[in-house]
Amino acid sequence: MNTALTSQRALRLPRLTRSYAAAAKTHHKILVIGGGSGGLNVANQLYNRFKAEGKKLDDGDVAIVDAAEWHNYQPGWTLVGAGLKQKNQLRRRLVDLIPSHIALVPAAVASFSPDANSVTLSSGEVVTYESLVVAAGLQINWENIKGLSPALADNSSGVSSIYSYETCDKTWGDIEAFRGGKAIFTQPAGVIKCAGAPQKIMWMAWDRWRRTKRGEAADVEFVTGMPTMFSVKKYSDALNALRLQRGVGALFEHNLVEVDHHARVAKFKKPDGALVEKDYTLLHVTPPQGPLDFIKSSPLADGVGWVDVDPGTLRHKKYANVWSLGDCSSLPTSKTAAAITAQTPVLVDNFYRVAETGEIGTARYDGYTSCPLLTGYGQLMLAEFVYGAVPKETFGALLGIDQSKPRWAFYHLKNEFFPWVYFNSMVNGTWFGPKRWNVPEFPKVAAEPAAKA
Ligand code: FAD
Ligand code: UQ1
């Protein structure tokens, strides 16, 4: 690693400091901001890569900064909303997921000073680094919808959301309590994580009501700020055909702006500014999302507020020792954990080659992302695509099947395999998704066991 860091000085990075006890360190060779899907995955893969190359890092050289007590398997919140899982099964204490050789700084970053190679924590403490990886996720803007927070807090409102740990089980309660009437499922205009989730929960509710003889009484409608069912034409067309076949209504380019849960009225804004009011019995809300304020206001941000990285290499466009992946990054693809499985190996390979030679490697991210679209109990359409909204299907290529057709086997990937592989392999950096073979010369290395709590 010393060789690696000597060559990093060519990029005008700070000189090495000596090791401190991991917990007390205020300087780390590699500082990862965020211990979510991307942060845990990348911190472990970076550590494992240097080790596999015979350049083992010292304990605490890699550190994760995150104030969160819990790490959530967010893709499971759809399963909780559909009554398939208990929410407390889908989270772990963050500290229990971090191996002893990686330090946890249990704090929130307040600001970045990339010219000084440092971050300032909300306590005011400054932590310096040689390289920075930003994986802090995105911000959910609940307050951008007037009346939403009180509606979610009221147990009898019929308003819920699978987009938080607190509210995802309310969705299942509302689905079960529903006896008929208007059921509206919303999707906001703009970027959200897992853009299929707003309709996954609708399809599950639709199927649940059908199976429990409430289908006739249910008037289901998808009201979305987006112009189509999905961003990729192939899947969008298949989903729209499904919608028509199932008698589910839709309003496109209608963006939820207000909820009056006393009157049970939802207000939507059209692109021309006109407001449309709709009565509802059940309302499932996907909140608007955007970049985190502390990133948006930093020198790392692009014009929108995402960390401004090269879409192929994942290296910051301006700061050569800064990298980013996952939801907080500017990568122009759909924000999912599946995407991170393809992003991390590319970031790690390029990071390692820069550390060794000062030059970026040849690994390039093609924008791979995947959305396992639940369409009912026992059926799932597995959307997989790359930059430009071009389908790139793993099982289509392997088995010659069309993934826009919902399948039983895909459903079990989502319901059983992904939660399992996530906590057994993704969080410790040994799950590479279906794209493993696309990263040249990435060494195979077993994870070290996580520290005991
Ligand atoms: P996160 O996992 O959100 O982690 C961000 C971390 O950064 C958090 O731990 C947070 O505490 C920390 N952080 C935030 N601010 C700071 C700060 N100031 N300082 C330090 N740390 C900070 N993906 C799929 O692949 N398939 C699916 O089926 C799927 N379904 C989904 C369904 C739902 C309802 C939701 C909500 C998401 C779904 N996703 C799915 C998306 C997936 O969960 C995210 O894309 C993924 O978790 C993003 O990882 P990340 O590391 O970028 O962010
Ligand atoms: C995936 O790797 C993954 O991570 C464990 C998910 O869970 C969050 C996913 O939803 C998907 C789709 C993938 C991609 C993997 C395959 C086999 C398509």
pLDDT in tens, 374-387: 999 999 999 999 99
Whether 334 has a pLDDT exceeding 60, the answer reads yes
Confidence of residue 14 (pLDDT cuts 50, 70, 90): very low
What CA–CA distance (Å, rounded) separates 427 from 45?
A: 10
Tell me the average pLDDT across 123-142: 98
Whether 325 has a pLDDT exceeding 70, the answer reads yes
Q: What distance in angstroms lies between residue 385's CA and the mean position of ligand 2's atoms?
A: 12
Q: Assign a CATH topology to domain 141-290.
A: FAD/NAD(P)-binding domain (3.50.50)
pLDDT of the residue at 436: 61
- Give the SS3 label for residue 265: strand
pLDDT of the residue at 270: 98
Tell me the average pLDDT across 401-425: 97
Whether 3 has a pLDDT exceeding 80, the answer reads no
> Is any atom of ligand 1 closer than 6 Å to the C-beta of 290?
no
Active site residues: 194, 371
Whether 6 has a pLDDT exceeding 50, the answer reads no
Confidence of residue 276 (pLDDT cuts 50, 70, 90): very high
- Give the SS3 label for residue 103: strand
- Pairing mode, strands 379-386 and 218-224: unpaired
> Is any atom of ligand 2 closer than 6 Å to the C-beta of 433?
yes
Given the CA of residue 337, which atom of ligand 1 is nearest to it?
25
Which ligand ends up closest to the CA of 344? 1
> Is any atom of ligand 2 closer than 6 Å to the C-beta of 37?
no
Confidence of residue 445 (pLDDT cuts 50, 70, 90): very low
* Residue 11 amino acid letter: L
Tell me the average pLDDT across 124-137: 98
Tell me the average pLDDT across 132-150: 98
- Give the SS3 label for residue 383: strand
* Residue 293 amino acid letter: D
Confidence of residue 450 (pLDDT cuts 50, 70, 90): low
Query: Judging by beta carbons within 10 Å of its beta carbon (0-12, 13-18, 19+), is residue 164 exposed, middle or buried?
Result: middle
More confident residue, 135 or 439: 135
Q: What distance in angstroms lies between residue 74's CA and the mean position of ligand 1's atoms?
A: 7
pLDDT of the residue at 400: 86
pLDDT of the residue at 255: 98
pLDDT of the residue at 105: 98
Whether 205 has a pLDDT exceeding 50, the answer reads yes
If you search the block for the tokens 């991210």, which residue do you land on?
365
Whether 26 has a pLDDT exceeding 50, the answer reads yes
The token pair that represents 56 in the structure block: 């083992």
What CA–CA distance (Å, rounded) separates 109 from 129?
A: 13
What CA–CA distance (Å, rounded) separates 387 from 369?
A: 9
Q: Which helix (H) or strand (E) holds 249?
A: strand 249-251
pLDDT of the residue at 434: 87
What CA–CA distance (Å, rounded) separates 441 from 453?
A: 35
Which ligand ends up closest to the CA of 108? 1
Q: What distance in angstroms lies between residue 157's CA and the mean position of ligand 1's atoms?
A: 27
> Is any atom of ligand 2 closer than 6 Å to the C-beta of 197?
no
What CA–CA distance (Å, rounded) separates 438 from 40?
A: 21
Q: Which residue's C-alpha comes closest to atom 8 of ligand 1?
A: 36
Confidence of residue 5 (pLDDT cuts 50, 70, 90): very low
Tell me the average pLDDT across 406-434: 96
Architecture of domain 12-138+291-364 in this structure: 3-Layer(bba) Sandwich (3.50)
Nearest residue to 346 via CA among 432, 234, 426, 449? 432
Whether 453 has a pLDDT exceeding 90, the answer reads no
Q: Which helix (H) or strand (E) holds 338?
A: helix 337-357
> Is any atom of ligand 1 closer than 6 Å to the C-beta of 287?
no
- Give the SS3 label for residue 419: helix
Confidence of residue 1 (pLDDT cuts 50, 70, 90): very low
- Name the segment(s) of the chain with CATH classification 3.50.50.60: 12-138+291-364, 141-290
**How many C-beta atoms lie closer than 10 Å to residue 310's C-beta?**
17
Whether 2 has a pLDDT exceeding 70, the answer reads no
The token pair that represents 196 in the structure block: 């299929």
- Give the SS3 label for residue 343: helix
Mean of per-residue pLDDT scores for the chain = 92
Given the CA of residue 40, which atom of ligand 1 is nearest to it?
51
Tell me the average pLDDT across 294-299: 98
Tell me the average pLDDT across 276-280: 98
Q: What distance in angstroms lies between residue 282's CA and the mean position of ligand 2's atoms?
A: 30
Which ligand ends up closest to the CA of 368? 2
pLDDT of the residue at 346: 97
pLDDT of the residue at 20: 33
Q: Which residue's C-alpha comes closest to atom 43 of ligand 1?
A: 74
If you search the block for the tokens 């979305």, which residue do you land on?
224
Q: In degrees to the nearest 10, what's the CA dihedral of 435, 328, 266, 211?
A: 30
How many percent of the chain have pLDDT more than 90?
A: 89
Phi–psi pair at 284, nearest 5 degrees: -105, 120
Q: Using only the alpha carbons of the chain, give its radius of gyration.
A: 22
Confidence of residue 397 (pLDDT cuts 50, 70, 90): confident
Query: Judging by beta carbons within 10 Å of its beta carbon (0-12, 13-18, 19+), is residue 253 exposed, middle or buried?
Result: middle
> Is any atom of ligand 1 closer than 6 Å to the C-beta of 38?
yes
Confidence of residue 24 (pLDDT cuts 50, 70, 90): low
Q: What distance in angstroms lies between residue 79's CA and the mean position of ligand 2's atoms?
A: 14
Of 309-313, 355-359, 377-381, 449-453, give the lowest mean pLDDT range. Answer: 449-453
Q: What distance in angstroms lies between residue 343's CA and the mean position of ligand 1's atoms?
A: 14
Which ligand ends up closest to the CA of 335? 1
What CA–CA distance (Å, rounded) separates 289 from 163?
A: 10
